[in-house]
Amino acid sequence: MTELVTEKIQIIQTNTQQSQQTTEDYEKMPSVTLFHKLSLAILGICSLTGWNAILNALDFFQEKFPKQQFLNVSFFIPIPIMCSSLIVGAILSVIGNAIPFQNYISIILRVSSLSVASLCLVSVFLKETYIGIVLVFIIQSFQGTVVSISNNCCLTLAMATQNSVLIGIYLTFTSLSGLIMNLLRLTALGTFGIEDLDKGTGLYFGVAAGSYITGRPAPFIIFVSCVQTSMLYPGVSVFQKPKYTYVKFPVAPILMVTIFNIGDIFGKSLGGGFKFLQKAQFAFGIVICRFIANLQGSQDMQNDFFQYFLIFMFALTKGLVSSILMTVGPQRATNSKDRDLISHMNILFLTLGVSVGSLMALILKINCFVQTFVNIPNFFQLQMLQFLNNKQFDLYFFNLILIF
């Protein structure tokens, strides 16, 4: 009987070893060193620098293509990037395992830099022309494709480490890239002023070109290409606040983006724990819905400091939740194929969330919100407006805040 039990245990151990050999087909990481941490930090800065640059300066494009003559670029320009990024992200989630895109990160980032440079040149030399704005939208679509591929590559490479410390560093430094862009944008405004954006753009071109010529080490090339790429992309504020009281335009939108990036850094650095913050995120989502529901915006919610606090708390909870979700999934994978698939799906839904959220933020500004009511039958329009502005809705709103 003892011999049978021993034989059974040996068979089980043999099968377990064989299954581990077939499933764990990726190479284990060595002990984490300072070089690993530095590499993932630089990779994190690179991966989302372009997107953060977009959030820092649409005023450049608005000045080149005035909305009185063309389109409201603060609304329409981000749309091609969102759409192409989402489509490419969906495609990569299907074919990403078959093509090792992560081996070509430096090439992809350089292509992105050329795309952004072309976008700036078109805006400068073909300003206030219809062919110029058409080319801007075409280049934007291409830029969204390249950005999506680069984000997928960087994220897949980070997840391949299978190390929670390195993944946490990567995710935290994706937010730091936004803070770097805020400082660079403020420096450019302080140096050249609002009236002379072209000289600032020319300086960006010179610094970027010099960096590409002199830079040799791969981590340095990745870092410089991403940072300079976003420097070459002047122009955007996605926040549509009607007026600014304490800090004036265009510094005020950059300050709002800076506060968001600081909150995002704190949230991602927390990593795990503090699950109650997920409820806080939902509560502040309700605050935003109540703010949108007021067509003119209540006086308290229009206060600049309230907006800053709201943006910081939203970024804090968003960074916390996203870092948890982005870290846990790939760590549960037992082979490289599943791990890469999880990484591609993560970036797909991250892109989807950013696209939908940014689009809604642009659509639901006051003017667009009023215009959407034109298409609603008058009866339902009046009923909805009465509901959004009556006392019962206020009581329901504050009860939800207290619950969460």
Would you place residue 190 in the very low, low, confident or very high pLDDT band (cuts 50, 70, 90)? Answer: low
Query: Which region among 39-43, 235-239, 253-257, 275-279 has the lowest average model confidence (pLDDT)?
Result: 235-239
Instruction: Give residue 166's pLDDT.
Output: 73
- Helical H segments across 274-335, by residue range: 276-293, 304-331
Q: What is the pLDDT of residues 353-371, one digit of tens each?
A: 555 554 554 454 444 443 3
Q: What is the pLDDT of residues 307-353, one digit of tens each?
A: 777 677 767 766 666 666 566 555 555 566 666 666 666 555 555 55
Nearest to 257 by CA among 302, 303, 204, 312: 312
Q: In a 10 Å sphere around its CB, with 0-12 CB exposed, 13-18 middle and 19+ buried, how is residue 222 labelled?
A: buried
Number of helices (H) and strands (E) in the chain: give both, helices first: 18, 0
Highest mean pLDDT among 28-32, 62-66, 104-108, 222-226: 62-66
Tokens matching residue 146: 């390249």
For 112: left if phi > 0, alpha if psi spans -120 to 50, otherwise beta; the answer is: alpha
Would you place residue 267 in the very low, low, confident or very high pLDDT band (cuts 50, 70, 90)? Answer: confident
CB 257, CB 56: distance < 8 Å: yes
User: Does residue 266 or residue 74 have the better pLDDT?
Assistant: 266
Q: Average pLDDT for residues 212-233, to the nearest whole number?
A: 37
CB 68, CB 250: distance < 8 Å: no
Percent pLDDT > 70 in the chain is 26
Distance set, CA 344 to CA 96, 106, 165 (Å): 7, 19, 20
What does the radius of gyration of the chain's CA atoms come to, in whole angstroms? 24
Q: What is the pLDDT of residues 48-59, one digit of tens each?
A: 665 566 555 566
Instruction: Give residue 206's pLDDT.
Output: 44
Would you place residue 34 in the very low, low, confident or very high pLDDT band (cuts 50, 70, 90)? Answer: confident
Give the CATH fold of the 32-240+328-403 domain. Answer: Growth Hormone; Chain: A; (1.20.1250)
Instruction: Give residue 380's pLDDT.
Output: 36
pLDDT above 80 (res 284): no
pLDDT above 60 (res 205): no
Would you place residue 199 in the very low, low, confident or very high pLDDT band (cuts 50, 70, 90)? Answer: low
CB 264, CB 315: distance < 8 Å: yes
Extents of the domains making up the chain:
32-240+328-403
Q: What is the pLDDT of residues 63-109, one digit of tens each?
A: 777 777 777 776 676 677 777 766 776 676 666 556 665 566 667 76
pLDDT above 60 (res 382): no
**CA–CA gap between residue 255 and residue 162 (Å, rounded):** 36
Q: What is the pLDDT of residues 116-172, one digit of tens each?
A: 777 777 777 887 788 888 887 887 778 777 777 777 777 777 666 666 677 777 777
Would you place residue 173 in the very low, low, confident or very high pLDDT band (cuts 50, 70, 90)? Answer: confident
**CA–CA gap between residue 220 and residue 38 (Å, rounded):** 11
Tokens matching residue 50: 């372009």
Would you place residue 114 in the very low, low, confident or very high pLDDT band (cuts 50, 70, 90)? Answer: confident
Would you place residue 252 in the very low, low, confident or very high pLDDT band (cuts 50, 70, 90)? Answer: confident
Enclosing H/E stretch for 394: helix 391-403
Would you place residue 266 in the very low, low, confident or very high pLDDT band (cuts 50, 70, 90)? Answer: confident
Tokens matching residue 54: 């977009």
CB 309, CB 289: distance < 8 Å: no
Instruction: Give residue 366's pLDDT.
Output: 40
pLDDT above 50 (res 222): no
CB 199, CB 78: distance < 8 Å: no
CB 185, CB 56: distance < 8 Å: yes
Instruction: Give residue 32's pLDDT.
Output: 67
**CA–CA gap between residue 266 and residue 132 (Å, rounded):** 40
pLDDT above 50 (res 253): yes
Query: Which region among 226-235, 247-256, 319-328 has the lowest average model confidence (pLDDT)?
Result: 226-235
Instruction: Give residue 37's pLDDT.
Output: 74
Amino acid at site 399: N
Instruction: Give residue 128's pLDDT.
Output: 78
Instruction: Give residue 102's pLDDT.
Output: 57
In whole numbers, what is the pLDDT of the chain averaged over residues?
Answer: 59
